[in-house]
A and B are shown apart, each in its own frame.
Chain A
């Protein structure tokens, strides 16, 4: 009797394993399949562009399947690390342009110098975007698309406040913001220009506008430069602007709450962010929404916008590099880039640029230091903490900048 029970248990377990492995399909990479990791933005934003690229690729390579697997920004790098360890990397991976340097420095990507000429418009790639795909003079990433920062605003509220002409300088903008505050004093927690307290993409623009920078190389080492006179001037200007225009929490970040949600609640007359913010301003204000370029402190010039974007790279462990490069070629073709442009993105080449607000804002842009430990600065919230300390008054601008600068120096120079 006892044997029966034990035997039954073992049988169940064995059956389980057998049945389970029977449903397993081969995970081995066959030469007839190309695996692509794109972010979900493509899945929801421009699935037609993906489909067109797949179609083009498959007509050029009959018999080769394309498996596009969509990833989320929060965990795609950890998943990528796991595939590197297990030798199951995809053949193409979309990387945020700030994420590239670390992985290029570690040798995670294949050198694609030889494929450069096959990529459309490669001679005219946007400098800022292309730089993020280069390391040690070699090409590892193909620019995919970019986005800058613009001001999305309520045309009706601006009209009511008597703002006839859109501001073309920072000082003018603050004056206009005061008009907006006065006109909307009855709305509790109203922000004439809503921006998050620790939105460093916005705050650093001021630093670069005043001629400062986040960090520079000096004799082979990185040095944090936020404590320079110009950077401090920029941060001071930002603090003044923020205090006059935003009712956000000083510790809030630019994703929580999403500025377009604040806008849709009627709690903001304008918001600062990527051009695609106009998608989600709510039904009530859709027709009264337009965009303009954030002005610099120098009249007539745009404030440098953070050139966010993505690159496409081929992991070093891929066994289908030529096919992967071909897929990338199809996905970044002129027609594909034009389609992305139509969806509100900035295409990857200067000869494709149009005159949308987004693209005009990109005329003057800034980017993060091309250091392999830059992601550690971001993940360590060094800039965010500095901004929160400035806004809450815990530290003066100079003190906060000083401490952040030395932090950045030590993190960027870690071995």
Chain B
């Protein structure tokens, strides 16, 4: 019994060390945003700013278009993730549970898109979007994000669906029903952890995406928060590191918030046990 306790304590210790090492750069970013400029550039690092300053956060928030760009990011990402989850789940069900002509071709196409180097597509894609007046508008970005996030989501969800052992499915389908709707209803709780993990990834990918956003959006009032961030670095003049770190900290908050909301669902399977009844 005590061996188990000791072993668990050991694993906990490992987790703490791992946490400290992994999180250090994040910690550095956050602590730098509270340091004065002198502390930031000093030769000897300041670990914990004893007299924290909120000046950088103030500068960051007051930099033009902060709130507008936050709003834009939320709209774009919210839309993309919601639509992507629905479409990807349906497609993943089709790929995992059905045999039909063109199945292999479709899978290859999905993988092909994942393999395309994005740099090669920027200009042709811009031309297409420009023709339909989807440049410099949020919808153009949503469509672009959907296109690149869908293959990944379909692929991952397919894996999760395939990973459900057959007898879980069978046991859960009490009356051997062959109706798709009922099947989906039963399937959903089993894939819930997978759905959540995939949606978190989609959220993070879209929230942090930079290349397409900066190419497609020119109006600063329409840009996303990552493009807004890049303005701290775009100048050939002084980079305000403190403000950049504060701004970065701010942009990370929604993601962390979103994840903490849903993280319980991921661990759901572990504690709930497997076969009911």
Tell yes or no: A166 within 8 A of B by CB. Answer: no
> Knowing A5-B181, A21-B139 touch, does A67 contact B219 (C-beta < 8 A)?
yes
Query: For A258, what are the chain B residues with a Cβ–Cβ distance below 8 Å?
Result: 238-239
Q: With A and B bound together, what is the CA distance between A16 and B133 in angstroms?
A: 17
The interface residues of chain A lying within 8 Å CB-to-CB of B124 are 85
How long is the Cα–Cα vector from A21 to B143 in the complex, in angstroms?
10
User: Is the beta-carbon distance between B122 and A82 smaller than 8 angstroms?
Assistant: yes
As a 0/1 sequence over residues 119 to 144 of chain B, the CB contacts with chain A under 8 angstroms (1 = contact) are: 00011101101110111111110110
Tell me whether B234 is interfacial, beta carbon within 8 Å: yes
Give the chain B neighbours of A69 by CB distance below 8 A: 218-220
| Shortest Cβ distance from B75 into A: residue | A23
Top 9 A-B residue pairs of the complex, sorted by shortest distance between their CB atoms: A72-B234, A20-B139, A86-B130, A1-B181, A2-B180, A27-B133, A280-B238, A24-B137, A82-B126
Determine chain A's interface SS by DSSP, over half rule: helix
A5-B90, A24-B139, A75-B214 known, 5 other contacts, Cβ within 8 Å: A12-B86, A71-B234, A86-B135, A264-B41, A266-B43
Provide the residues of chain A in CB contact with B143, threshold 8 Å.
17, 20
A72 to chain B, nearest CB (A): 2
Interface residue from A41, A83, A260 paired with B235 (Cβ < 8 Å): A41
Contacts A12-B86, A82-B123; is A72 near B41 (CB within 8 Å)?
Answer: no
B231 contacts across to A, CB distance below 8 A: 40, 43, 70, 72
A252 vs chain B, min Cβ distance (A)? 16
A375 vs chain B, min Cβ distance (A): 16
- Taking Cβ atoms with an 8 Å cutoff, the residues of A that contact B are 1-2, 4-6, 9, 12-13, 16-17, 20-21, 23-28, 39-41, 43-45, 67, 69-75, 78-79, 81-83, 85-88, 188, 255, 258, 260-261, 264-267, 276, 279-280, 282-284
B234 with A260: CB separation less than 8 A: no
Measured CA separation A204–B195 after assembly (Å): 58
* Bound CA–CA A348/B35 (angstroms): 40
> Would you call B27 an interface residue if the criterion is a C-beta within 8 Å of the partner chain's C-beta atoms?
no
Main secondary structure of the interface of B (DSSP, over half): helix
Task: Give residues of chain B (179-218) contacting chain A, Cβ–Cβ below 8 Å.
Answer: 179-182, 184, 214-215, 218
Give the contacting residue for B38; candidates A73, A88, A284; CB below 8 A: A284
Please give the distance in Å from B169's CB to the nearest CB on chain A: 17
Q: Are A5 and B184 in contact (CB under 8 A)?
A: yes
Q: Is the CB of B234 within 8 A of A73?
A: yes
CA distance A4 to B182 in the complex (A): 12
Interface centre among B86, B127, B143, B236 (most CB of A within 10 A): B236
Q: Flag if A9 contacts B87 (CB, 8 Å).
A: yes
Whether A85 lies near B126 (C-beta < 8 A) is yes
Q: Could you say which of B126, B143, B239 has the most chain A C-beta atoms within 10 Å of its C-beta?
A: B126
Find chain B residues with CB under 8 A from A81 CB.
123
Given A79-B214, A265-B43, CB of A45 within 8 Å of CB of B180: no
The minimal Cβ–Cβ distance linking A352 to chain B, given in whole angstroms, is 22
Q: Say how far A276's CB is from chain B's closest CB, in angstroms.
A: 6
